[in-house]
Amino acid sequence: MGNIASSLAVDLALDEIAERTDLEMKISSSGPKMTKKEAEASAELKGWGPQLVVIIGPNAATPGQTAAREQFKGLPAIVISDGPTKKEARDAMAAEGFGYIILPADPLIGAKREFLDPAEMALFNADALKVLAVCGAVRLIQEELDEAMAAIAAGVARLPQILATPEKCAERMDFCNPYAQAKAIGALYMAQTVASIDAAACFRLKELEAIALTAAAGHEVMRAAACLADQARELEKAGDTVSRKPHARSGELMKKTGLLDKPERL
C-alpha cells in the first residue's frame, strides 16, 4: 500500500534468481494509494490461503495501513514501513500479534507537485534503494523474512520486531573494511535526515519557493547518501570482500565473499 523504496525489493529479495522451490508469492498492490478502500481490497489475498502476509508501505500508523492490518488479524503478518518509530506505537502492533521491521532510513519523498514529477520520483527511489541495499537494510529484510518463514514451516510463529537503526542494518552486510562500514552507517543516518527535511516541505511549508527549495534539499541529501553508499561498496570491492548471501533452490541461505568463490551453505 503506497510506496517506500524497499517496496521495490522485498519480494525480489526472497527469490532473486527465481529458482526457489519452497516458496510461492502473490502480490496485491494499490500503487501509490493507501486509503481504507485499498486496505479492504487487499483482503482478496486471504482467498489464496497464505501462510505469511507481509504488508509494506509508508507510516504503518495511518488509517489505511491500520485498516489493512485488520484484514489479516489471526494470520502471521509482518509490517515493513518507515514508521512508526515511537516505541508505544510499535508495542501496540506487537500486542495485536503483528511482527514489524521499521526502517527510518527509508525516507519520505518530497511529494509536492511544486517539485516532484515522475522522473524525480524514480531518481529518489533509486537513490534510496541503493542506500538500503548497500548498507544492509535489504539484507536485514531478507534474513528476517527467511527466518520467519522457516519458523512457520516448523510450526512456530516467530515474527521479527525490529527498529532497524543504521548500526543494525550495517551489521548485516558483514563489512570487512571498517571505513566501508562507517560510510554505510553515515549514509543511513543521512537517509534518516531526509525524512525530516521532506516532512517540512510536504506538511508544514506553504509558499512555493520554500516548498520547492526544501524538497530539493531533501533529495540532494538522498543523492549524497547514495554516493556515500557507492564509496562503501567500492571499498569492499577493492579488497574482494563483498558479502553475498544468495538463496539455494531449497530456500536456504548461502554465502560467499570473494568474487570467484563458490557459494556455500550457512
Going along the chain from its start, the domains and CATH numbers come out as 5-265 (3.40.50.10830)
Q: How far apart are CA 109 and CA 253, in angstroms?
A: 33
Q: What is the pLDDT of residue 58?
A: 95
Nearest to 107 by CA among 135, 143, 132: 132
pLDDT per residue as tens digits for the range 88-140: 999 999 999 999 999 999 999 999 999 999 999 999 999 999 999 999 999 99
Q: How far apart are CA 112 and CA 149, in angstroms?
A: 38
Q: What is the pLDDT of residue 157?
A: 83
Q: What is the pLDDT of residue 238?
A: 98
In whole numbers, what is the pLDDT of the chain averaged over residues? 96
The DSSP secondary-structure symbol of 203 reads: I
DSSP 64-92: HHHHHHHHTTTS-EEEEES---SHHHHHH
Q: What is the pLDDT of residue 85?
A: 85
- Distances in Å between the Cα of 76 and the Cα atoms of 25, 28, 98, 189 are 15, 17, 7, 31
Q: What is the pLDDT of residue 178?
A: 98
Low-confidence ranges of the chain (pLDDT < 70): none
Q: What is the pLDDT of residue 162?
A: 97
Q: What is the pTM of this model?
A: 0.96
Strand partners, 77: 53
